[in-house]
């Protein structure tokens, strides 16, 4: 990847740069089989059964029919390969569609034609139409729009706002055919991943690099953007894998669920168990002869101990859970993008959340405005009528002064508002200056929808739109804006002409001009309508038309028109934006700036109220912006303009502009500060409270300042009502730490900035002492700012240990990189089997979402970038409560029981084989072969066992009412070594009982023992799963009956079963006795165990116990009530 100089319209050699291909496929025709098979056999399950299947090709190791070992493996692997092939084919079709999309391009020799996207090369000129996708990274040469074209970048950076792109100045005025033959060259830096940075130059013929005009991000159109308005002529500079979208398309690492890792570990234990049992069999043979051959044969006989169907059942269960999630009517719009992680939702211990757009709606509403440099005047959102009246009074005052020297006057009609409420002259001027700064210092563009006629505002930040809408609400309307001009107007006012006036037409309408001789203007006033009819008479721009409509009712508006001279866009580094404009009427030049309070406080003149009021606004949870302005003399602006042009032509324009910008910002006047409220999401407080009761620690990570973040934490109940706050705050160069409790009392003392690891450790210890004091019943919330975090995170272990004791954690002034770092540190150091989840809605949350065990993305106002990168896409934050506590809990508990039951199913048949071999002189002869062995784990038992994925151990109402039930999952009691051993012992007992009793009832013929044991085995499995179910549903009943019917029918088709013996009464009573002996003691033992450990809540006991236990408990209670003796009333002693 190198820098390049391309001539417009001249195609480069295809071998010089990458082809313009979109490729999202994982495989090709040659690599599909080797790579996909490698992915399958890297798992222990599949590799083990592959070796087992291969062993059957060697006669000494054969223990059964070959297909009984080959068929299951082939089925499992084939299903996985077909799924991979289907997914990759879908990617191939999407790639083919994108690569085959046709575009109009210049083909040379004055010819234009349509070519496929794959044939586009660097240097080629394309003609794009509205709503057409940009196929490669391009420079905008020309547009049909006057001031540039808007592009939609939501598929690139996830932001939904339209962005204005400016054509190259020297080509905008040229015809298309002349542009491609002009010989103009474009120089572009080497491609990189940063979508918001670009350095380039335009080199007309005869111009050297040092004198060339610069190209910036505003001149670019990146691949996968969509042209929103007009038509555009572009020149390709980057193609294929060198485009910004391809460079940023990093494939996220594959996430593996904790339950998969646990089962992988258990499968290794089962393998050890298989070797151990095989070794015992060989030992009883006293290792005679070729004992190692016998050992391998026994290993193959007991291979069912590791069930090959476990992976299939789990994957099918995950698909069912995902289906339930997306079909849940209470969380409509949830999309499962990664179906491998539903069980992870049941193990969440930490939830890392963004603030803006996630906990809040990202809907900004103006709340407060402070004006004045010395003594502040506070204006609330409820004072809009007074503010508008003040502005009207100011305009009328200006007009009266202008009209006093002319023969024309404009009498404003009365309104309903009492003008006596208008403030003093000083406060009036302060308000006008502040509102003017709000109305000018932004990058908002008014757009009118051509279909609906609705007026909208496009901007990169909702804060800017909120402030422009506020200005509109008090009568200062952004009417027009392009690259070079901006026009503000007032509302239409009713007025009366009492003398002759003249009108002069300009770019904004019909300007009112008074005396024909003196040509003194009513500055900024325009005629809109006469007698309620729009004034549209065509007037020559240089002519003066006399109106003698004495007493005629007209509508007028006040306009202030600006020429935009220089703009300084907002960046995360500068934390401010600025604009230099010239008033077209007065020719005065002004610099308007706005930015974060921490940065603007360094620029504006010292103020006695700024820091205090800014802190107060932050405590109210409002987002703050500080505004400043100054008037620039003509000579100062001229000098700065020269320096600015030179900086733009330098090798690093961004850095050079920042250097010279500091000079012009000196002595900036403070004109005001705004407070904007970001509304909370629906039910966010209730959701966080329930998640906290569920044992989930909430971390709020935000880029806002500490005071704002703390206030939002309180309003969302992230900080409990009786909870405390422990701040690690470096913003004000102060730190508050807990006093040592020498006198038995708690106190706070000012400290120092956290600058070293030793100091960080000291403060962490102070936090732990404060938590240990127990003074806050609602727990303690740790509040950290970005600077402190840099030092605290170095003490990795101590930081995690201290933070785990906090009720919640708030991290302010946090960068996207720091968000991901925090998640990584917590993943690495948290104890137990807790999992992390991260939720956000913007592109800056993607790194955090990808770093967490489970990523949750919200489709918000900042676009779909986070949603597309997440494992689960949500519409609202409150949906995560039901997703985690209901669906996550069910998924984990169901998969835990399903996996252990599948393991039990394999163990029981293996121990039947072990007892059989032991009783028949330790011979390595299989008891079941052929279709019996294949059908056992498929058609005979699969459906009833898989029906566990439909079971509910507690009702939906109970789970949502008692979120504490989720806390129990953190102890991993559903799947651990203890529960695993319980199922192993159960399988050992049941397998041994079935085989021993069958031998006891053995009647000479071997086929009868197969019939008796296999029938008892099937009945035992069906009854056991019936007793394990908490809730009996009709799909489960149908699956039980269908499985038994299928087995009954198989008597007539399988030679391995004695059909004649089945019809005898001897078969049925013997099978029933064996089945009862295998099931009854196990069920009784579990009833006794549950009876000794009763749940604290009778309601929860009724919900969480299996149905058979509830029936036993009810019967016991009824029996106890019958045995109780009632005391006659006469026997009660009188008190």
Residues annotated as part of the active site: 354
Q: How far is CA 379 from CA 128, 171, 430, 435, 664, in A?
A: 48, 48, 12, 11, 30
Helix (H) or strand (E) holding 953, with range, is none
Q: Spell out the residues 6+ positions from residue 204 whose beta carbon is closer than 8 angstroms to its own.
A: 170, 182, 183, 184
Query: What does the buried/exposed string (b/e) look like for 1101-1113 if buried means 16 or more CB atoms within 10 Å of the residue's CB?
Result: eebbbbebbbebb
Distance, C-alpha 500 to centroid of its chain: 64
**Dihedral sign, Cα of residue 836, residue 841, residue 842, residue 843:** positive
For the chain, give the number of residues.
Answer: 1135
Tokens describing residue 838: 């991260």
As to burial, measured by CB atoms within 10 angstroms (0-12 exposed, 13-18 middle, 19+ buried), residue 553 is middle
Distance, C-alpha 28 to centroid of its chain: 31
Give 19-34 as a 3 state SS string: CCCCCCCCCCCCCHHH
Q: How far is CA 135 from CA 13, 92, 671, in A?
A: 19, 17, 46
Neighbours of 177 (CB within 10 A): 12
Q: How far is CA 909 from CA 210, 903, 1041, in A?
A: 83, 10, 22
Q: How far is CA 584 from CA 137, 469, 476, 488, 541, in A?
A: 37, 24, 17, 12, 17
- Gyration radius from the chain CA atoms: 39
* Beta pairing, strands 410-412 & 533-534: unpaired
Using CA atoms, how far apart are residues 168 and 3, in angstroms rounded to an integer? 19
Contact status, residue 1027 vs residue 1106, Cβ threshold 8 Å = yes
Block residue for tokens 């203007």: 521
Residue closest to 832 by CA, chosen among 253, 268, 258, 256: 258
Using CA atoms, how far apart are residues 3 and 1112, in angstroms rounded to an integer? 79
Using CA atoms, how far apart are residues 974 and 535, in angstroms rounded to an integer? 79
φ, ψ at 1095 (rounded to 5°): -65, 155
Residue closest to 9 by CA, chosen among 164, 99, 117, 139: 139
Helices (H), 351-473: 384-403, 425-440, 462-473
Contact status, residue 482 vs residue 399, Cβ threshold 8 Å = no
Q: Spell out the residues 6+ positions from residue 478 whose beta carbon is closer than 8 angstroms to its own.
A: 439, 444, 446, 457, 468, 471, 472, 486, 487, 488
* Beta pairing, strands 669-680 & 697-701: unpaired
Neighbours of 208 (CB within 10 A): 7
Using CA atoms, how far apart are residues 1027 and 178, in angstroms rounded to an integer? 84
Using CA atoms, how far apart are residues 912 and 918, in angstroms rounded to an integer? 10
Tokens describing residue 983: 């199922």
Angle at 493 between CA 491 and CA 494, to 5 degrees: 160
**Dihedral sign, Cα of residue 833, residue 834, residue 839, residue 844:** negative
* DSSP label at residue 382: G
């Amino acid at each position: 990847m190198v820098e390049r100089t391309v001539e417009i319209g001249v195609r480069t050699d295809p071998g010089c740069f990458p082809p313009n291909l979109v490729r999202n496929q994982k495989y090709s025709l040659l690599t599909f089989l080797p790579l996909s098979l490698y992915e399958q056999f890297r798992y222990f399950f599949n590799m083990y059964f592959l070796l087992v299947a291969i062993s059957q090709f060697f006669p000494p190791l054969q223990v059964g029919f070959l297909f009984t070992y080959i068929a299951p493996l082939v089925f499992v692997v084939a299903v996985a390969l077909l799924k991979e092939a289907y997914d990759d084919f879908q990617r191939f079709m999407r790639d083919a569609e994108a690569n085959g999309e046709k575009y109009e391009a210049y083909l040379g020799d004055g010819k234009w034609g349509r070519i496929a996207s794959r044939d586009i090369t660097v240097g080629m000129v394309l003609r794009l139409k509205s709503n057409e996708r940009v196929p490669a990274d391009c420079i905008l040469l020309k547009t049909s729009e006057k001031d540039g074209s808007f592009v939609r970048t939501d598929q690139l950076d996830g932001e939904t706002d339209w962005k204005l792109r400016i054509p190259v100045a020297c080509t905008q005025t040229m015809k298309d055919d002349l542009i491609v033959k002009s010989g103009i060259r474009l120089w572009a830096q080497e491609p990189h991943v940063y979508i918001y940075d670009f350095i380039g130059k335009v080199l007309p013929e005869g111009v050297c690099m040092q004198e060339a005009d610069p190209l910036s991000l505003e001149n670019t159109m990146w691949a996968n953007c969509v042209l929103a308005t007009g038509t555009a002529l572009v020149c390709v500079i980057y193609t294929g894998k060198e485009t910004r979208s391809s460079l940023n398309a990093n494939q996220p690492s594959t996430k593996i669920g904790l339950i998969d890792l646990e089962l992988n570990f258990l499968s290794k234990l089962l393998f050890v168990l298989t070797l151990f049992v095989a070794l015992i069999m060989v030992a009883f043979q006293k290792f005679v002869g070729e004992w190692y051959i016998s050992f391998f044969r026994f290993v193959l006989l007991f291979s069912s101990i590791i069930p090959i169907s476990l992976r299939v059942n789990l994957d099918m269960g995950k698909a069912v859970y995902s289906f339930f999630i997306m079909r849940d009517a209470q969380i409509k719009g949830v999309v499962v993008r990664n179906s491998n992680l539903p069980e992870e939702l049941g193990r969440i211990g930490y939830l890392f959340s963004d603030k803006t757009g996630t906990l809040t709606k990202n809907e900004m509403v103006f709340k407060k405005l402070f004006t004045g440099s010395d003594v502040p005047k506070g204006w609330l959102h409820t004072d809009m009528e007074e503010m508008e009246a003040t502005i009207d009074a100011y305009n009328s005052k200006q007009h009266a002064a202008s009209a006093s020297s002319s023969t024309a006057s404009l009498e404003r009609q009365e309104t309903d508002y009492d003008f006596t409420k208008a403030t003093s002259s000083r406060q009036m001027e302060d308000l006008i200056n502040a509102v003017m700064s709000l109305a000018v210092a932004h990058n908002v563009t008014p757009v009118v929808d051509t279909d609906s006629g609705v007026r909208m505002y496009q901007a990169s930040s909702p804060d800017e739109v909120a402030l422009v809408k506020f200005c509109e609400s008090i009568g200062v309307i952004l009417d027009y804006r392009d690259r070079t001009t901006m026009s503000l107007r007032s509302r239409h006012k009713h007025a009366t002409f009492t003398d002759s006036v003249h009108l002069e037409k300009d770019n904004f309408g019909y300007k009112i001009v008074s005396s024909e001789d003196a040509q003194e203007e009513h500055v900024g006033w325009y005629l809109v309508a006469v007698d309620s009819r729009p004034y549209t008479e065509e007037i020559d721009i240089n002519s003066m038309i006399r109106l003698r409509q004495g007493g005629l009712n007209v509508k007028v508006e006040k306009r202030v028109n600006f020429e935009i001279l220089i703009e300084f866009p907002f960046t995360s580094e500068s934390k401010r934006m600025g604009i230099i404009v010239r008033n077209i009427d007065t020719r005065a030049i002004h610099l308007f700036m706005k930015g974060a309070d921490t940065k603007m406080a360094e620029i504006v003149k010292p103020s006695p109220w700024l820091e205090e009021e800014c802190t107060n606004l932050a405590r109210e949870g409002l987002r703050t912006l500080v505004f400043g302005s100054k008037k620039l003399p003509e000579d100062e602006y001229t000098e700065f303009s020269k320096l600015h042009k030179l900086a733009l032509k330098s090798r690093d324009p961004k850095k050079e502009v920042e250097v010279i910008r500091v000079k012009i910002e000196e002595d900036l006047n403070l004109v005001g500060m705004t407070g904007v409220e970001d509304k909370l999401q629906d039910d966010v407080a209730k959701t966080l409270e329930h998640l906290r009761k569920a044992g989930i620690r909430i971390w709020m990570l935000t880029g806002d300042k500490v005071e704002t973040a703390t206030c939002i934490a309180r309003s969302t109940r992230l900080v409990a009502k009786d909870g405390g706050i422990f701040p690690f705050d470096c913003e004000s160069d102060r730190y508050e730490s807990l006093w040592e409790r020498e006198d038995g009392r708690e106190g706070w003392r000012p400290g120092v900035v956290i600058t070293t690891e030793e100091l960080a450790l000291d403060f962490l210890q102070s936090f732990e002492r404060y938590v240990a004091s127990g003074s806050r019943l609602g727990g303690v919330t740790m509040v950290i700012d970005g600077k402190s975090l840099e030092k605290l995170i170095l003490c990795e272990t101590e930081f995690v240990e201290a933070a785990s004791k906090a009720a919640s954690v708030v991290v302010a002034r946090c960068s996207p990189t720091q968000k991901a770092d925090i998640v990584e540190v917590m993943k690495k150091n948290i104890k137990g089997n807790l999992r992390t989840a991260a939720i956000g809605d913007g592109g800056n949350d993607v790194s955090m979402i990808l770093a967490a065990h489970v990523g949750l993305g919200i489709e918000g106002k900042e676009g779909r970038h986070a949603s597309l990168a997440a494992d689960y896409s949500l519409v609202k934050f409150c949906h995560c409560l039901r997703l985690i506590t209901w669906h996550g809990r069910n998924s984990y508990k169901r998969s835990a029981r399903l996996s252990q039951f599948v393991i039990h199913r394999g163990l029981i048949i293996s121990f039947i084989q072990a007892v059989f071999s032991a009783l028949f002189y330790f011979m390595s002869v299989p008891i079941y072969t052929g279709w019996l062995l294949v059908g056992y784990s498929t058609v005979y038992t699969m459906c009833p066992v898989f029906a566990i994925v439909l079971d509910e151990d507690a009702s939906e109402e109970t789970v949502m009412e008692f979120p504490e039930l989720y806390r129990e999952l953190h102890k991993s009691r559903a799947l651990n070594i203890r529960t695993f051993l319980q199922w192993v012992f159960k399988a050992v007992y049941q397998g041994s009982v079935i085989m021993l009793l069958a031998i006891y009832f053995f009647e000479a013929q071997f086929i009868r023992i197969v019939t008796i044991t296999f029938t008892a085995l099937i009945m035992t499995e069906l009854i056991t799963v019936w007793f394990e179910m908490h809730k009996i549903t009709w799909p489960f009943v149908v699956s039980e009956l269908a499985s038994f019917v299928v087995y009954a029918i198989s008597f007539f088709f399988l030679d391995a079963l004695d059909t004649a013996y089945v019809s005898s009464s001897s078969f049925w009573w013997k099978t029933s006795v064996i089945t009862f002996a295998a099931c009854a003691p196990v069920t009784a033992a579990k009833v006794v165990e549950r009876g000794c450990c009763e749940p604290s809540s009778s309601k929860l006991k009724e919900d969480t116990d299996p149905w058979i236990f509830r029936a036993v408990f009810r019967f016991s209670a009824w029996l106890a009530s019958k045995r109780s003796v009632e005391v006659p009333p006469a026997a009660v002693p009188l008190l």
